[in-house]
Amino acid sequence: MILRGNYIRDLLSGDARSDVTVHGWVKTRRDSKDVCFVQLNDGSCPADLQVVISPANFDADLLRRVTTGACIRVNGQLASSPAAGQALELQAMEVKVIGEADPATYPLQKKGHTMEFLRDIGHLRTRSNTFGSVFRVRTSLAQAIHSFFHEEGFLYVHTPIITASDCEGAGAMFGVSTLDMLNVPRVNEGAQRGQVDFGQDFFGKPAYLTVSGQLEAEIFALAFTNVYTFGPTFRAENSNTPRHLAEFWMIEPEMAFCDLQDDMFFAEKFLKAIIARVMDECASDLEFFNKRIDNSVLQTLENVVNSVFEHITYTEAIALLEKSGQTWEFPVSWGSDLQSEHERYLTEQVFKKPVIVVDYPREIKAFYMRANDDGKTVRAMDVLAPRIGEIIGGSQREERHDVLLNRITEQGLDPASYWWYLELRKYGSAPHAGFGLGFERLMLYLTGMKNIRDVIPFPRTPGTAEF
Ligand code: ATP
Ligand code: MG
C-alpha cells in the first residue's frame, strides 16, 4: 500500500531525491523526438506528476501500453524540472503497467467532457480533474465539520436511518418493507379491512427511510446538552432540480439551554470555521474551481469568513423586498415564504453578505418551532448566503408541553404519533435550539459546481440509481 509521504502530493511538496516509487493513472501522454512525458495522477492532489521516460531505455511494447487511463508504477529519480509550471519531475528508471486501458475505448479523454456525460461514467469520472477536486473538498469539509463539533464538546449522535415515525413532516418518505409486493397481506376485518396489513411487515408497522434526524437529536440534547447528527437522509420528492437529491447528507446540531440568539451566533461561527478550514486545507482545489467552474468562488467564501452576518426579521425582509422596485417571479407579501430570488436579492444587492432572517410567520414553519408572544411568528432563523440563498434553516424549539400540544392539533397532526416528543416536554424540559444544513448544498457553495448530482459520489435521483 501507499503510505503517507509517498503520495504524489507529498512528493511534489518535498525535495528532489532518488529511488522514488509512484503509482497512479495516466492522465495524458505526450511524445516528442526522444522523450516521452506522462502526466500521472494518484488522486492525492490536483497537480499531476510529470514522468519523463527516455524511450531508448525501455521496451517499445511496454511503452505502447502506457496510455491515457492505464494504471502504472514508476520508479526513478525525482529531480528539479527544467519545464515551467512545475518544480519537480520524475525521471523514470523502471516502468510497470499494472492495468492497461485500451485507448480505443477508454471513455475519459483529455478534452473537456460535459458534466452529463461524466455522470454516465460514474465509475470513471472520479479520475477527472473536476471530480478529483470535488471529492477532496468533500472529505475536507466532512472532517472540518466533525472536528469543529468535537472541539466544541458536542456528542455525535447516530440517528436512525430507518424510522417508524412518519411524523418528521419534512418531505415525502421512502417506504421500507419486506412484504411480498405481488402478494400483499390485507387486513381481514374492522375499519382497516382491505388495507395493507403492516402488522405482518418486518417492523410490525409501516417504516420509512428518515428525512431528518432532528427529533431524535432533541432526545439526546436533553441528556447530553450539545449534540449533532451527520448522516444520510432521504426524500422521495419527485423534484428533478439541480438542488435536490433523493439521498443526501444532513448536519443537524441541537443545543440545550440555547435560545434563538445563541443559535444564530453559533451557526455563523460554525459556517465560518468550516469554510476557513477547507480554504486552508484545499487551497489548490478551490483555486481550480475558481478558475474553471465559477470565478466568484474564492471571493464569496472570503466574504463569508470575514463578514459579520446581518440580522433582520422576516417582517423587515418583506418590507425591503416590497420597496425594492424589482419585479419578482414569486410575488412578495407578509405570510408568504421567501423564495430563492428574494433571498439572493437580500444577500447580493442589499447587504452584500450573509443575512440571518428570524421570526417567520408560524403558518409557513414547522409545528416544533417556538411560538413568539405576538401570536403570529415563530422563532425560526434561516441563514441566507450570496449566490445560493438559504443555506441553513434552524429554530428554537417549543419546549412548553401545552403550547406544543396545541400546535400539533392545530396543524391537524395526531398527538399520539408524537407521544415521546411530547413527553420530553413533561420530564425535565429545557429551552433548546438547533439547525439543519444540507451537506451537498454547502458543497455546491464551496465549489461553485452547478448541479448537486456532481458533488456527491453516487447521486440518487428520480429514475437514477446506477453505480
Ligand atoms: P428545499 O426548499 O430546498 O426543498 P427544504 O425546505 O425541503 O429545502 P429542509 O426540510 O429544511 O429543506 O431540510 C434541511 C436542509 O436539507 C435544507 O436546507 C437543504 O440544505 C437540504 N435539503 C433539503 N432537501 C434536499 C434534497 N432533496 N437534496 C439535497 N439537500 C436537501
Ligand atoms: Mg423540500
Ligand 1, atom 23, residue with closest C-alpha:
438
- List pLDDT tens digits, range 37-94: 999 999 999 999 999 999 999 999 999 999 999 999 999 999 998 888 789 999 999 9
pLDDT > 90: percent of the chain? 91
For residue 88, how far is its CA from the centre of ligand 1 (angstroms)? 45
Residue 25 domain-assigned (yes or no): yes
Do 223 and 98 lie in one domain? The reply is no
Instruction: Give the other-Cβ count within 10 Å of 259's Cβ.
Output: 14
Identify the nearest ligand to the CA of 444 by its number. 1
**CA 403/CA 394 separation, integer angstroms:** 19
Ligand 1 probe mutation, 243, 378, 382, 384, most atoms within 8 A of CB: 243
Instruction: Determine how β-strand 88-99 pairs with β-strand 49-53.
Output: parallel
Question: What local confidence, expressed as pLDDT, does residue 240 receive?
Answer: 86
Instruction: Give the other-Cβ count within 10 Å of 57's Cβ.
Output: 11
Do 251 and 283 lie in one domain? The reply is yes
Query: 237 pLDDT band (50/70/90 cuts)?
Result: confident
**CA 378/CA 402 separation, integer angstroms:** 16
- List pLDDT tens digits, range 118-152: 999 999 999 999 999 999 999 999 999 999 999 99
Query: 167 pLDDT band (50/70/90 cuts)?
Result: low
Ligand 1 nearest atom to the CA of residue 237, by list position: 27
**CA 370/CA 262 separation, integer angstroms:** 14
Do 97 and 140 lie in one domain? The reply is no
Using only the alpha carbons of the chain, give its radius of gyration: 27
Do 81 and 143 lie in one domain? The reply is no
For residue 142, how far is its CA from the centre of ligand 1 (angstroms)? 18
Q: What is the pTM of this model?
A: 0.96
DSSP string, 139-173: HHHHHHHHHHHHHTT-EE----SEES-----SS--
Identify the nearest ligand to the CA of 395 by its number. 1
For 138, the grid coordinates are: 468533500
For residue 371, how far is its CA from the centre of ligand 2 (angstroms)? 23
Tell me the three state secondary structure of residue 301: helix
Identify the nearest ligand to the CA of 236 by its number. 1
Do 256 and 315 lie in one domain? The reply is yes
**CA 224/CA 228 separation, integer angstroms:** 10
For 318, the grid coordinates are: 418583506
Ligand 1 nearest atom to the CA of residue 441, by list position: 20
Phi, psi of 76 (to 5 degrees): 180, -155
Q: Is the pLDDT of residue 209 over 90?
A: yes
Do 13 and 93 lie in one domain? The reply is yes
Do 222 and 364 lie in one domain? The reply is yes
Residue 169 domain-assigned (yes or no): yes
Q: Is the pLDDT of residue 34 over 70?
A: yes
Residue of 44, 156, 72 lying closest to 53 (CA atoms): 72
Measured over all CA atoms, what is the biggest interatomic distance in the chain, rounded to whole angstroms?
A: 87
DSSP assignment letter at 347: I
Residue of 430, 432, 428, 352 lying closest to 397 (CA atoms): 432
For residue 161, how far is its CA from the centre of ligand 2 (angstroms)? 18
CATH number for 270: 3.30.930.10
**Are 342 and 332 in contact, with CB atoms under 8 Å apart?**
yes
Instruction: Give the other-Cβ count within 10 Å of 451's Cβ.
Output: 14
Amino acid making up residue 92: A
For 178, the grid coordinates are: 419486506
Do 298 and 356 lie in one domain? The reply is yes
Residue 269 domain-assigned (yes or no): yes
Do 330 and 367 lie in one domain? The reply is yes
Do 342 and 415 lie in one domain? The reply is yes
For 264, the grid coordinates are: 444564530
Ligand 1 probe mutation, 235, 330, 378, most atoms within 8 A of CB: 235
Query: 266 pLDDT band (50/70/90 cuts)?
Result: very high
Q: List Cβ neighbours of 418 (8 Å cut-off, separation of 6 or more).
A: 167, 408
Residues with CB under 6 A from ligand 1: 170-171, 235, 237, 243-245, 248, 250, 390, 393, 436, 438, 440-441, 452
Residue 120 domain-assigned (yes or no): no
Question: What local confidence, expressed as pLDDT, does residue 170 receive?
Answer: 64
For residue 451, how far is its CA from the centre of ligand 2 (angstroms)? 16
Per the structure, the count of domains in the chain is 2
Q: Alpha-carbon torsion 193, 198, 199, 205, what sign? A: negative
Question: What local confidence, expressed as pLDDT, does residue 71 receive?
Answer: 98
**Are 131 and 125 in contact, with CB atoms under 8 Å apart?**
yes
CA distances from 248 to 22, 167, 280, 453 (A): 35, 19, 25, 10
Residue 114 domain-assigned (yes or no): no
Query: 169 pLDDT band (50/70/90 cuts)?
Result: low
- List pLDDT tens digits, range 387-412: 888 999 999 999 999 999 999 999 88
Ligand 1 nearest atom to the CA of residue 442, by list position: 20
- List pLDDT tens digits, range 368-388: 999 999 999 999 999 999 888
Residue 206 domain-assigned (yes or no): no
Question: What local confidence, expressed as pLDDT, does residue 388 receive?
Answer: 85
Quote the mean pLDDT of the chain: 95
For 283, the grid coordinates are: 487551497
DSSP assignment letter at 61: H
For residue 170, how far is its CA from the centre of ligand 2 (angstroms)? 7
What's the whole-number mean pLDDT along residues 324-347?
95
Ligand 1, atom 19, residue with closest C-alpha:
438
Q: Is the pLDDT of residue 220 over 80?
A: yes
Among 142-156, 160-174, 324-338, 348-362, whose mean pLDDT is lowest?
160-174
Residue 30 domain-assigned (yes or no): yes
Do 101 and 133 lie in one domain? The reply is no
Domain of residue 76: give its range. 8-106
Question: What local confidence, expressed as pLDDT, does residue 168 receive?
Answer: 62
Ligand 1 probe mutation, 441, 443, 444, 451, most atoms within 8 A of CB: 441
Locus of grid cell 468535537: 150
Q: Is 260 exposed, middle or buried (0-12, 13-18, 19+ CB in 10 A)?
A: buried
Locus of grid cell 492525492: 44
Query: 165 pLDDT band (50/70/90 cuts)?
Result: confident
Residue 204 domain-assigned (yes or no): no
For residue 42, how far is its CA from the centre of ligand 2 (angstroms)? 38
CATH number for 21: 2.40.50.140
**CA 361/CA 331 separation, integer angstroms:** 16
- List pLDDT tens digits, range 290-314: 999 999 999 999 999 999 999 999 9
Do 100 and 139 lie in one domain? The reply is no
